């Protein structure tokens, strides 16, 4: 993602925009209460300031969200420590968090969460972070950049590059037409997430960690706020999302395909087991799951410790003249990472004065351009929205709409049936033949792990990306 200050530069994505980590997060804008416990104060401060900025420039996809963090005797998260921690957390937002933290007694905690395990419960803290729609935040940032003149191409793959005479010649392939192009650039930015260490000239060394989420009906576990549950020092979230709950995440080392990341049965079992420990009366089971997703955290390589112990700080590196690697980081700090990268290129590669950035003050888009299209919960299911995505948001495949533009795939249990209707609408808007429509449905079923005819959703080894 590029800020408007960099809009003269083209941006290429080998898959769809937000195909990777940027559409598979916990959908939170947060400083990270766990990172504060690890002593990463600078990271928490940066992210805490940025979550406020995003809430101001993109309020349609950034809402304050309260979190209840229950505490128990004999755990790694004592109540006294968290009471201090959430007050520091508020201060690290420059005293302007999205809401004021507080402490709850044992009785008050159970009033808020009557199905919560009461044995050894000592109370809870309540603090604020933000809820977002990660893919919509990406797309709306790109729409904003496009309005300012940016050239944006999805399904266009970077192949290689050579440097001569203070210029890079980059070879890219349009994967929709199979046409190859040579492009000239003074600077190249490698901001490719989990793919960053595989590009020629990259200096990035990554340690990939997989995180999965499950989606269930909110009525199965009707919580008033988000809830933090723990397994040792690990944290999982139960996050209200309209009429649904998002529950996750895991944090395990990953060595598999970057293009096909799935929630394994063992991942799902872990999440269900952890929920059962804290909400034993609820008895969530496999059939309660509406959908899942799995994504990769591109962590700066550190062979020591568990993935959850590795810093989420970002790094901006310049290993060769005009080549810039941007790696690590958090969704919450995406704007800051972009601003710092552009400033570094202006100063060190182009030899220009750093221009003041206005991305922290200017709205991404006016309300008239997001109404009925972009929000935290999916838009209304209709052909008007699909037409917009096809004509104004670079959607070319069925999964582009079902997964990233709308989240309909994750939100609705009958997503397979809805996909058939969306395929009909897209065929009309994009001129697909009957064979192309059928091919798009097969592509969608393969991408999501849906097997068989529409209506069949499997949650085993192929549970969806």
pLDDT at 77: 95
Residue pair 196/190 in contact by the 8 Å Cβ criterion: yes
Nearest to 325 by CA among 144, 224, 195: 195
Predicted pLDDT of residue 313: 84
Cα 208 from chain centroid? 15
Q: What are phi and psi of 128, to 5 degrees?
A: -120, 140
Q: Where exactly are the structural domains of the chain?
A: 378-448
- Strand pairing of 234-241 and 289-300? unpaired
Q: In the structure, what pLDDT confidence band is assigned to residue 334 with cuts at 50, 70 and 90? A: very high
Pair 337, 326: CB distance under 8 Å: yes
Looking at the predicted structure, is the pLDDT value of residue 326 above 90?
yes
Dist. CA 345–CA 352, nearest whole Å: 9
- Express each pLDDT in 299-325 by its tens digit: 998 766 677 667 778 999 999 999 999
- Give the chain's mean pLDDT: 92
**Residue pLDDT, tens place only, 19-57:** 999 999 999 999 888 888 888 888 889 999 999 999 999
- Mean local confidence (pLDDT), 390-402: 98
pLDDT score of 423 more than 70: yes
- What's the whole-number mean pLDDT along residues 3-9? 46
What pLDDT is attached to residue 19? 98
The answer to whether 287 touches 272, Cβ cutoff 8 Å, is no
Q: How far apart are CA 145 and CA 269, in angstroms?
A: 41
pLDDT tens-place string over residues 81-95: 999 999 999 999 877
**% of the chain at pLDDT higher than 90:** 86
Q: CA dist 19 to 158, 258, 322, Å?
A: 15, 11, 27
**Residue 36: its pLDDT value, please?**
84
Structure tokens at 369: 């351009």
Residue with tokens 């209506």, as numbered in its chain: 455
Alpha-carbon distance of 60 to 359, in angstroms, equals 16
Backbone angles phi, psi at 240, to 5 degrees: -65, 135
The reported pTM is 0.93
- Is pLDDT at 385 greater than 50 in this prediction? yes
Q: What is the mean pLDDT of residues 191-206?
A: 95
Mean pLDDT along residues 217-240: 96
Tokens for 379, please give them.
């838009």
Residue 282 has pLDDT above 60, yes or no: yes
Quick: pLDDT tens for 167-189. Answer: 999 999 999 999 999 999 999 99
How sure is the predictor about 203, in pLDDT bands with cuts at 50, 70 and 90? Answer: very high
For the residues 439-453, what does the mean pLDDT come to? 86
Q: How confident is the model at residue 32, as a pLDDT? A: 85
pLDDT of residue 360: 96
User: Token pair for residue 268?
Assistant: 């799902």
* 5 confidence band (pLDDT: 50, 70, 90): very low
CB neighbour burial string for 251-263, b if at least 16 within 10 angstroms, e if fewer: bbebeeeeeebbb
Residue 455 has pLDDT above 60, yes or no: no
Distance (Å, whole) CA 166 – CA 184? 10
Residue 454 has a pLDDT of 40
Q: Give me the percent of the chain exceeding a pLDDT of 70.
A: 94
Ramachandran area for residue 324 (φ above 0: left; ψ -120 to 50: alpha; else beta): beta
At 465 the pLDDT is 35
pLDDT for res 93 = 86
pLDDT for 8: 63
Tell me the two tokens of residue 404: 């990233």
């Amino acid at each position: 993602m590029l800020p408007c200050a960099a809009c003269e530069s083209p941006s290429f994505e080998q898959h769809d925009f937000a195909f990777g980590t940027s559409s598979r997060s916990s959908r939170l804008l947060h400083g990270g209460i766990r990172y504060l416990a690890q002593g990463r104060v600078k990271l928490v401060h940066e992210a805490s300031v940025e979550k406020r900025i995003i809430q101001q420039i993109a309020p349609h996809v950034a809402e304050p969200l309260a979190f209840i963090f229950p505490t128990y005797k004999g755990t790694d998260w004592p109540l006294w420590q968290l009471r201090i921690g959430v007050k520091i957390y508020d201060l690290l937002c420059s005293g302007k968090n999205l809401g004021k933290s507080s402490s709850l007694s044992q009785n008050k905690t159970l009033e808020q969460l009557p199905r919560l395990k009461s044995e050894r419960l000592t109370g809870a803290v309540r603090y604020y972070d933000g809820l977002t729609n990660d893919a919509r935040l990406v797309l709306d940032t790109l729409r904003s950049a496009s309005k300012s003149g940016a050239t944006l191409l999805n399904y266009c793959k970077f192949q290689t590059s050579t440097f001569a005479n203070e210029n890079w010649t980059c070879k890219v392939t349009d994967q929709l037409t199979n046409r190859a192009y040579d492009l000239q650039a003074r600077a190249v930015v490698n901001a490719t997430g989990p793919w960053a260490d595989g590009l020629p000239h990259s200096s990035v060394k990554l340690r990939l960690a997989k995180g999965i989420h499950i989606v269930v009906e909110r009525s199965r576990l009707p919580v008033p706020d988000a809830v933090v549950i723990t397994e040792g020092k690990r944290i999982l979230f139960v996050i209200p999302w309209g009429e649904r709950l998002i529950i996750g995440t895991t944090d395990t080392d990953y060595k598999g395909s970057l293009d096909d990341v799935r929630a394994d049965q063992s991942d799902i079992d872990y999440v269900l087991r952890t929920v059962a420990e804290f909400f034993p009366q609820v008895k969530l089971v496999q059939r309660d799951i509406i959908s899942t997703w799995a994504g990769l955290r591109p962590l700066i390589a550190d062979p020591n410790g568990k993935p959850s112990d590795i810093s989420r700080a970002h790094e901006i590196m310049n290993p060769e003249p005009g080549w810039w690697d941007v790696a690590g980081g958090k969704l919450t700090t995406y704007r800051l990472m972009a601003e710092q990268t552009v400033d570094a290129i202006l100063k060190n590669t182009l030899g220009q004065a750093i221009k003041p950035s206005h991305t922290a003050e200017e709205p991404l888009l006016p309300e008239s351009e997001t109404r009925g299209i972009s929000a935290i919960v999916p838009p209304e299911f209709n052909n008007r929205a699909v037409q917009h995505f096809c004509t104004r948001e670079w959607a070319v495949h069925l999964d582009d709409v079902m997964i990233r533009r709308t989240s309909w795939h994750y939100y609705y249990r009958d997503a397979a049936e809805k996909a058939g209707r969306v395929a009909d609408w897209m065929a009309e808007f994009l001129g697909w033949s009957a064979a192309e429509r059928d091919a798009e449905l097969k592509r969608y079923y393969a991408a999501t792990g849906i097997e068989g005819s529409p209506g069949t959703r499997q949650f085993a080894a192929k549970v969806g990306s």
